[in-house]
Amino acid sequence: MPATTPPLRSAWLAPVLLLLGSLFFIAIWILLALYTGRPSSWMAVIAALDAAVILRITGVRPGAARAAWAVLATLAMIVVANWGIIVVQMGVTMGLNPWDSALKLGLDHAWTLAGLANHAADLAWMALALVVAVVAAR
Which pLDDT belongs to residue 8? Answer: 53
Question: Could you list the pLDDT tens digit for every one of the 138 residues in the chain?
Answer: 566 655 556 678 889 999 999 999 999 999 999 999 999 999 999 999 999 999 999 989 999 999 999 999 999 999 999 999 999 999 988 899 988 998 888 899 999 999 999 999 999 999 999 999 999 998
SS (H, E, C) 60-71: CCCCHHHHHHHH
Which pLDDT belongs to residue 70? Answer: 97
Which pLDDT belongs to residue 11? Answer: 76
- List all residues 6 or more positions away from 46 whose beta carbon is below 8 Å from its beta carbon: 25
| Helices 107-117 and 64-94, packing angle to 10 deg | 100
Which pLDDT belongs to residue 5? Answer: 54
Taking residue 13's Cβ as centre, other Cβ atoms within 10 Å add up to 14
Check: pTM over 0.85? Answer yes or no: yes
How far is C-alpha 64 from the geometric centre of its chain's CA atoms? 19
| Helices 13-36 and 64-94, packing angle to 10 deg | 40
Which pLDDT belongs to residue 80? Answer: 96
Terminal-residue alpha carbon distance, the chain: 35
Which pLDDT belongs to residue 112? Answer: 94
